A and B are shown apart, each in its own frame.
Chain A
């Protein structure tokens, strides 16, 4: 994969669009997932992922081969999504508005699938409440196993800034989760 990737990159840098399509096929999933986690719906995620690859293709000549291609690609996607969220600020998405998620779920049971979907929606709602940069940091940390140094490099933050952002995001998510749990429990308490 690694040697194939280097070959595709070199060919794509020479203007071979087919070689870049191979890179698109190889990285569509991580890029799409990042866009989905950032934007919260399938339509926007598809559009953002396509735009990410287009931007990467256009600036491929400036790509430094000493860097990791996947991290570079994720950085483009994260920045694009951050800008996009800033442009469409304050759009609040409720649980009901969230579309169906294309979760690759191997479990056969309908109940398991449903609960899986609900969990995903809950996580997505918690992420949607975060500031875009905090959201990008959380997604890169939890879904891509990037180190703090890598996240700092990709998002242009210092370690202390990242630490404080992550702390703020974790606290906000935990508090939101608590609020949701409490509001879900309320009707039961009243009826019992």
Chain B
């Protein structure tokens, strides 16, 4: 005996997509379930289960769910921020390593002759000191000329103006980077 269409009909009786049974199908189904115990039992079981599901209530979480969620959001945002920081640090370290690797590759031929490498380092060092000395002399000569040419009062005013600019710059920096302005 085949059970398939009868089982389908019973299981999908209340289904919105299934077509309603024709009078002939209904008669055939009734005949079948009077003879077939297993199909009748499945049909009755499904009716009982469906009834229970339809009458089952919506369950509520315990009180304070919203507050617990807010706490979780804060924790999650902190974790996210930490992760971002670690990621940035990782990228910087990786960048540094890559640069070091590139420099090492470039310096490879020099490393093969250590004397040449040492000589280059000494030469670069001397060059740096030479430039520093050059700028020092240049600055002092400009400063001395300025003192001779510009009156003292103007110089004081200029220094004061520079101080004010520094203070404005510092305040602007603090305001733009303060946590309540920067939403992360």
A residues bordering B, Cβ < 8 Å?
A: 15, 17, 21, 24-25, 28-30, 32-33, 36-37, 42, 45-46, 49-50, 53-54, 57, 101-105, 119-120, 122-123, 126, 138, 142-143, 147-148, 159, 163, 166-167, 170-171, 173-175, 177-178, 181
Which one, A25, A163, A177, contacts B45 given CB within 8 A?
A177
Given A24-B69, A166-B15, A170-B11; A46-B61 close (CB under 8 Å) = yes
Q: How far is the CA of A88 from the CA of B126 in the complex (A)?
A: 68
Q: Is the CB of A178 within 8 A of B41?
A: yes
Assess whether B33 is interfacial by the CB under 8 Å rule.
no
Assess whether B56 is interfacial by the CB under 8 Å rule.
yes
A residues in contact with B73, CB < 8 Å: 17, 54, 57
Given A54-B72, A142-B54; A103-B59 close (CB under 8 Å) = yes
Q: How far is the CA of A142 from the CA of B53 in the complex (A)?
A: 7
CB nearest to A173 among chain B residues: B49
Q: Is the CB of A29 within 8 A of B49?
A: no
B residues in contact with A143, CB < 8 Å: 53, 56, 58
Shortest Cβ gap from A121 to chain B (Å): 11
A residues in contact with B46, CB < 8 Å: 170-171, 173-174, 177
B residues bordering A, Cβ < 8 Å?
A: 7-8, 11-12, 15-17, 41-43, 45-46, 48-50, 52-54, 56-62, 65-66, 68-70, 72-73, 76, 183
Shortest Cβ gap from A184 to chain B (Å): 13
Main secondary structure of the interface of A (DSSP, over half): helix
Given A148-B16, A159-B17; A174-B59 close (CB under 8 Å) = no
Shortest Cβ gap from B141 to chain A (Å): 56
Which one, B42, B48, B54, B70, contacts A17 given CB within 8 A?
B70
Given A54-B76, A123-B53, A142-B53; A21-B69 close (CB under 8 Å) = yes
Given A21-B69, A21-B70, A159-B17; A29-B60 close (CB under 8 Å) = yes
A residues in contact with B56, CB < 8 Å: 119-120, 123, 142-143
Q: How far is the CA of A74 from the CA of B127 in the complex (A)?
A: 70
Shortest Cβ gap from B55 to chain A (Å): 8
B residues in contact with A46, CB < 8 Å: 61-62, 65, 68
Q: Is the CB of A177 within 8 A of B48?
A: yes
A residues in contact with B61, CB < 8 Å: 28-29, 32, 45-46, 49, 102
With A32-B65, A143-B58 already in contact, 4 other A-B pairs whose C-beta atoms are closer than 8 Å: A46-B65, A119-B52, A142-B53, A167-B12
Given A50-B69, A54-B73, A171-B42; A105-B17 close (CB under 8 Å) = no
